[in-house]
């Protein structure tokens, strides 16, 4: 497994499909942007979803608290950050931000808990040791 930082960032552009009728990012789009950032963080850790599914492993959002600070708009570029704030035996606590590239302003923040589960049983399972090690050693 490659070296994995506690923080990861993903650049996204706001497309029409991400907005409401007024060109403002629809609230659920922020959740999709954040999901992509977490997925890319896992990919950087060597845990792409094809591999994790084959190993009876998946990650599910247990809880999420969102705060909408100011709206992002059509055609803007955003940076979506993912920071691991706590690592537990079978879960990760993550802080995420969506930042407007042009100004550095925060548009949305989230605090969430992601649980590691067995796909076969749907029950919690321990995080892979290599992921715990990689995330705690940076």
Residues labelled catalytic: 20
Report the distance separating Cα 42 and Cα 100, nearest Å. 23
Residues composing the chain: 138
Contact assessment for residue 84 and residue 93, using Cβ atoms and an 8 Å cutoff: yes
| Range list of β-strands (E), the chain | 7-13, 58-68, 77-87, 91-100, 106-117
98 exposure class (CB count in 10 Å sphere: 0-12, 13-18, 19+): buried
């Amino acid at each position: 497994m490659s070296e994995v930082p506690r923080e990861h960032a993903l650049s996204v552009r706001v497309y029409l499909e991400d907005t409401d009728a007024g060109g403002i990012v629809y609230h659920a789009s922020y959740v999709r942007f954040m999901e992509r950032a977490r997925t890319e963080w896992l990919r950087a850790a060597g845990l792409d979803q094809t591999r994790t599914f084959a190993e009876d492993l998946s990650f599910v959002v247990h809880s999420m608290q969102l705060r909408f600070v100011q709206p992002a708009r059509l055609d803007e570029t955003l940076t979506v950050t993912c920071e691991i704030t706590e690592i537990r035996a079978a879960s990760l606590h993550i802080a995420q931000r969506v930042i407007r590239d042009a100004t550095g302003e925060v548009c949305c923040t989230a605090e969430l808990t992601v649980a590691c589960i067995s796909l076969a049983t749907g029950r919690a399972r321990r995080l892979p040791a290599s992921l715990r090690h990689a995330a705690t050693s940076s």
